[in-house]
Amino acid sequence: MTPRAGMLIAAGALVAGTVTVLPAAPAGAGEPAPRPLPPLTWTDCATKAYPRLQCASLKVPLNHDDPAGRTVTLALTRVPHTAKTFQGPLLVNPGGPGGSGRSMAGYVAASLPPKVAAEYDVIGFDPRGVGKSEPALDCRPGHFAPVRPDSVPRGADGERDAVGRAQDFAEACGKKYADVLPFIDTVSTARDMDVIRRALDAPKINYLGYSYGTYLGAVYARLHPDRVRRMALDSVVNPHGVWYEDNIAQDYAFDTRHKDFMAWVARHDSVYKLGTDPAAVEAAWYRMREELRAAPAGGKVGPGELEDTFLPGGYYNGYWPRLASAFSAYVNDADAVPLTEAYERYGEADAAADNGYSVYTSVQCRDAAWPRDWSVWRKDNWDVHAKAPFSTWNNAWYNAPCAFWPVESLTPPDVTNDQVPPVLILQATDDAATPYEGGVALHRLIRGSSLVVEQGGGNHGVTLGGNDCMDEHLVAYLATGKVPRAEGDTETDAVCAALPEPEPDPVAASGAKTGAGTEATTGPTTEARTGSQAGRTSGHRAGAPRAESTGATLHGLLGHVR
């Protein structure tokens, strides 16, 4: 969720919103009386990958301050416990906001050691507005249909057209969902989680959240510290930057990660034939981008679509071989087919992506104040683009509806917490979607938390994706509740080495002219579920490719914060 890297936005640029005040202690008599809940009815919804998966639905108040009023429906999934020892429900969230969590239950249950998974009811859910929950938002179907205008504004007319698209999206949301938008926000979703807890008849929850799910978990823990048993937060949103500053921070971080990819391509010049100098390889990428502005590949991959295609490589380096093959084929062989195929795999939006983006904007624009003066956006993004051109303007337009959002913004809650049990925080040092500073910031805000770091890792989502060392810390915590503790004066409690970089695609190495190749394998192959192309933690959208490895499966599920 840490979009755009600069975090240098003046507080005065933000529009003051309604203050969100969360209790510093467990909610008491001042809360509205909760509505009695009927027992959940679980039905079989097994898949080949998850043969024990069950489904249910749950009605929750649209407005939690009016518990007897209108309701919305959440779609839930469960993999039930089988062991005699029962540690309660483990709620899981893949991030977004806007990411569907129904498949996450099966993935987590299948990825944990069987002995540990058997002790939990692993619970997935589609947050309000998402996926199978009702109503499911879709503000403006086809908003990302290709070919979009170049994301980097070309003069006043190009900027005016792009601003108009953002305004049109915000207006469409306001017209279709005027009665719902005031209640699509992180605090409301956290309160939904407590209704899920009650429906499960559980005094406390366990929780595993990725990306935006880390912020959701932190907000829940602030609301109900006495109702948290265990909480693991992987790839952490910086709560100090929600959301405008976090997006700026992300821009810098994704540009750095893109340069890491260019350097990897240069190291494998014998395969990709794009040169041994990373700067020259990057220059070739930007020449490709310029050529696509004049002649989109396959009639659908222009500059914006190219950025959408390569952004997933910033989340997960297992995609680098396939992306490099497509890049090489276009530059060296004038073959645009692999590039078009890569776009269809990683960048192309579908109905699920439209839904995810609608919820993404609804949550982010409501959660926190954004500049309402477009001149602030223009100055900030040109300043960042000058240093980090890879995705700055792409990300700006992804978030631009917030400048025109039809609902007043809230003020992000303070998630400082000294009452919650030990929280396990897991973070890669070179994560672009949620930069390392976010993990450190939350560690400082939650007293008694433990910070486990993947040193040198650049992937987003560092557990259950192939790193055994990181997994050992998560598994030990879920099994026993114990967290690692540093010895001496250090902020990091444990450190794991990053996984090795991927190897080049053997198909590309053979010299064959083919489009795709395969994702690099970082763990045992698993059957993937195709997730939605959800909003990145604070801005960047990531596709949901068919996974061919554990790492790719995980990253196909995560609803990345753009």
Catalytic residue annotation: 211, 431, 460
Residue identified by tokens 């679980």 is 42
Spell out the alpha helix ranges (H) of 12-154.
102-111, 114-117
Write the DSSP symbol of residue 28: -
With 0-12 / 13-18 / 19 or more C-beta atoms within 10 angstroms meaning exposed / middle / buried, residue 419 is middle
Which pair of tokens denotes residue 54?
């069950």
Nearby residues of 447 by Cβ (< 8 Å), 6 or more positions away: 417, 418
| Amino acid code (one letter) for 462 | V
Question: Do residues 498 and 431 make contact, with C-beta atoms less than 8 angstroms apart?
Answer: no
Question: Do residues 447 and 252 make contact, with C-beta atoms less than 8 angstroms apart?
Answer: no
Write the DSSP symbol of residue 496: E
End-to-end C-alpha distance for the chain, whole angstroms: 6
Q: Which of 446, 410, 493 is nearest to 220 (CA)?
A: 446
> What is the torsion angle, in degrees rounded to the nearest 10, for the CA atoms of residue 375, residue 378, residue 383 and residue 386?
-160
d(CA 158, CA 486): 53
Q: What are residue 94's phi and psi, to 5 degrees?
A: -90, -5
With 0-12 / 13-18 / 19 or more C-beta atoms within 10 angstroms meaning exposed / middle / buried, residue 10 is exposed
E-assigned strands of 297-422?
410-411
| Amino acid code (one letter) for 346 | Y
Q: What are residue 418's phi and psi, to 5 degrees?
A: -120, 15
d(CA 379, CA 181): 29
